[in-house]
Amino acid sequence: MFKGWLLHKGDGAVDAALADIDEARLPAGDVLLAVEYSALNYKDGLALTNRAPVVRQWPMVPGIDGAGTVLESTHADWKPGDRAVLNGWGVGETHWGCLAERARLKGEWLVPLPAAFTPRQAMAIGTAGYTAMLCVMALERHGVQPGDGDVLVTGATGGVGSVAVALLARLGWRVTAATGRTAEADYLTSLGAAAVVDRAEFAMPGKPLQKERWAAAIDAVGSHTLANVLAQTRYGGIVAACGLAQGMDLPGTVAPFILRGVTLAGVDSVMAPMPRRREAWQRLARDLDPARLEAMTAEVALAEAADAARRLMDGRVRGRIVVRVAG
Ligand code: NDP
């Protein structure tokens, strides 16, 4: 038996409870992982609070990411004692996830825990931070460089945003952080932001083309915010879009694309191919300041995950929450 969160669906309502689960109930997979740390990402918040249909099979153990030690393996790449990180692949949505002491997973989904990180640090980064790195890599593939102008990060006090600010600042960019919590300006400055702006500036419908302000942007927010960011992106610039915290819609025009040659790069972490994942984790080991990572991280016990998920969905969490699963 092991402890884990279990989501059951009744008459439309979802019940989330910390349960003792029989290991025999774990889904098929060729690696059994002893999860040491998991995390609370936006999607975990949605799943635990039933705010959006993230979970597609019931009952479900939530937790889209985890880090820990391999206990059993029939996969050629993994042996007992190896340390591994899991992000995405539908885990916590269609396959039982990592907000539990045990997870049975596919070996092909796992990335070796980088030597630079403890399991706790890997989950402080978690899917949000790994996605922020994928966004930075998308900007770099486009060819933009810090000398080209300012970079904007939206949803800046959130998980993706906090890691993006810290990474871009470390890489030499002048970072502007857009947030609804301007009282957190000192926090964002401590992560490396050079300027902090109110997200209200971006929240409402705007003109198709606006003053050119950004050489590049990372957007975790979508909707009018993304449309306005595109309209403010400089000639030839790029916006990496990964989130929908304001909304899934994109109420803009093609003007930034056809008149300014702006590029909109979509970023997905869930099904990202393995070479890109490994590159992202190597880059995180190189480019993320461990002190800044620690400064953006709070820890909760496994039993506290549902309460913390409610705080996350209410916009009362800054940065990242790691969930201590073992011990
Ligand atoms: P968090 O909850 O940690 O952060 C989201 C942030 O968005 C909030 O902190 C807030 O920042 C801002 N925000 C919230 N509501 C609104 C709103 N109505 N209008 C504008 N801004 C808002 O979530 P994550 O950082 O983990 O995830 C951010 C987004 O990225 C989510 O939509 C998530 O689904 C997506 N995501 C996508 C991935 C992918 O593979 N594409 C992977 C991981 C995440 P502030 O208070 O500073 O304004």
Could you tell me where the beta strands, DSSP code E, fall in the chain? 2-9, 14-21, 31-40, 65-73, 83-87, 102-105, 111-112, 151-153, 175-179, 195-198, 214-219, 233-241, 263-266, 297-301, 320-324
- What does the pLDDT read at residue 54? 85
CATH code 3.40.50.720 for 127-266: yes
Domain ranges of the chain: 2-113+296-324, 127-266
Complete DSSP assignment for 128-143: HHHHHHHHHHHHHHHT
CA of 139 to the centre of ligand 1 (A): 19
Q: Dihedral through CA 52, CA 54, CA 59, CA 62, nearest 10?
A: -110
Of 307, 326, 135, the residue nearest 238 (C-alpha): 135
Task: For residue range 126-169, list pLDDT tens digits in order.
Answer: 999 999 999 999 999 999 999 999 999 999 999 999 999 999 99
Third-level CATH fold of 2-113+296-324: Quinone Oxidoreductase; Chain A, domain 1 (3.90.180)
- What does the pLDDT read at residue 12? 72
* Mean per-residue pLDDT pooled into runs of 10, the chain (327 residues): 93 87 96 98 92 87 97 98 97 97 98 97 98 98 97 98 98 98 96 98 98 98 98 98 97 98 98 97 97 97 96 94 93
Could you tell me where the beta strands, DSSP code E, fall in 154-232? 175-179, 195-198, 214-219
CA of 73 to the centre of ligand 1 (A): 35
0.95 exceeded by pTM: yes
Q: Whose CA is nearest to atom 9 of ligand 1?
A: 158
Residue to mutate (ligand 1; options 157, 221, 271, 296; most atoms within 8 A of CB):
221
- What does the pLDDT read at residue 51? 79
CA of 272, closest atom in ligand 1: 40
Ligand 1: lining residues by beta carbon, under 6 Å: 41-43, 127-128, 131, 155-161, 179-181, 199, 220-221, 225, 242-246, 267-270, 312, 315
Residue to mutate (ligand 1; options 38, 42, 54, 136; most atoms within 8 A of CB):
42
CA of 88, closest atom in ligand 1: 40
Task: For residue range 9-44, list pLDDT tens digits in order.
Answer: 877 788 899 999 999 999 999 999 999 999 999 999
* Contact yes or no for 219/256 (Cβ under 8 A): no
- What does the pLDDT read at residue 13? 80
* Contact yes or no for 134/104 (Cβ under 8 A): no
